[in-house]
Amino acid sequence: MDIEVYDGANTSDLTAPAHVPAAVVRAAVVDARSPVPTGVHRSVALSVARGSEKTARLRLERLARVAMSTGRVDDPAMVWATDWTRLPVEGYEQLDRSIAATWGTASTRNAMRDSVRAVVRECRDAGLMTYDEATRALSALRPEKLGRDTEKQARGHLSATQVKEVFEALAADKSPTARRDAALIALLVGAGLRREEAVTLELSDLDATHETLVVTGKGGVVRDVPLAPGVRRAVSAWLEARGDDPGPLLTPMSKEVPRVAVLDRAMSVNAVAAVVKRRFAGDGEAVRPHDLRRTFVGDLLDAGADLSSVSKIVGHSSPATTAGYDRRGVAARRAAVEKLSVPFV
């Protein structure tokens, strides 16, 4: 990819580039995170040096698609090998125009912009770009403001009846697998964990009284999560079947009968999704692990918890992200205002 301004692009001909093959992206992430990357330039490698594997893959793929959307490059490897610190501000402005002309929704356009902005931010922090250079580049790719979709915020929440029925069915099943699944679901819907966080838990992350859990979230940020009484009971019941040997808190079950916990490895994120889908199987749409996290946030806000506290519990970097899970509508906000006393006479 040449470091130059992309002049002469016909925006009416722009179409979103196809997704980069997953194997190619995975190989690029491995190279970027190696001690001495060979194909990924340092300016790009810095943007995926930390965080989850999933985030790194998304960032590299989106960065490649953004550059390819200009029509001037068709090889993602060239995009990743480029020294992005040499791209002038006019080039970043052209990328922004290309993003605006290529992708149809503001949320997608913002995600594409963020892939480039992440490179700029990391280059600035590493001293590869001056503060002024980075500021101009970031300003050229300013995210669009998104209106709050109240209907979307109301979707993905489970009713109290749904959750109760699942736990009742699990309680009736005395098998170790059912105890494991009950603990998993309790941690998702009763502690708001992401599925990636749940599978990385170790037994040592749980305190002696089972009242608090140490969780490592996105970006390696560690937080303490208090456990509700029902969650503690579900976890304790699972530990009776699992045992107290060190290792992953949530484990696969052996294929042999009687089934026992396999302590040498943790559950996979796909296994978590399969458990949730199976246990919440019904006539409606399949339930996803994130629906349980969304429900947890909605339940806390409905119960009167303040947004800042809930944000800290679930590990959001900003309460604004937590607000996106708020299922309360206009009526709830109006009721809150009605409680105010304004002494006008």
pLDDT tens per residue across span 42-75: 999 999 998 888 899 999 999 999 999 988 888 9
Mean pLDDT of the 194-221 span: 92
- Inter-residue contact 248 to 202 (CB < 8 Å): yes
Is the pLDDT assigned to residue 223 strictly greater than 70?
yes
* Catalytic residue of the set 42, 218, 233, 288: 218
Q: What percent of the chain has pLDDT over 70?
A: 91
Residue 164 reports pLDDT greater than 90: yes
Choose, from 259, 290, 312, 328, the residue flagged as catalytic.
290
Q: Which of 65, 179, 194, 327 is catalytic?
A: 194
pLDDT band of 89, cuts 50, 70, 90: very high
Single out the catalytic residue among 109, 293, 294, 327: 293
Other Cβ atoms less than 10 A from the Cβ of 236: the count is 14
Q: Is 6 a catalytic site residue?
A: no
Q: Is the pLDDT of residue 193 over 90?
A: yes
Q: Find the helix or strand (DSSP H, E) in which 286 lies.
A: none
Residue 218 bears catalytic tag: yes
The packing angle between helices 269-279 and 160-172, to 10°, is 100
Q: What pLDDT does 318 receive?
A: 86
Give Cα 73 distance to the centre of its chain. 30
**Residues forming a β-bridge with 327:** none
Per the annotation, the verdict on 131 as an active-site residue is no
Cβ atoms of 128 and 261 closer than 8 Å: no
Q: pLDDT grade, residue 339 (50/70/90)?
A: confident
pLDDT of res. 12 = 47
**Which among 279, 294, 316, 327 is annotated as catalytic?**
316
Q: Look up 316 and say whether it is catalytic.
A: yes
Q: Does residue 210 have an active-site annotation? A: no
Q: Given pLDDT bands bounded at 50, 70 and 90, which one contains residue 8?
A: very low
209 vs 242: CA distance, rounded Å: 17
pLDDT(113) > 50: yes
Q: pLDDT averaged over the chain?
A: 89
Kindly tell me the burial class for residue 35, based on how many C-beta atoms sit within 10 Å of its own C-beta (0-12, 13-18, 19 or more): exposed
What is the token pair recorded at 202? 């170790």
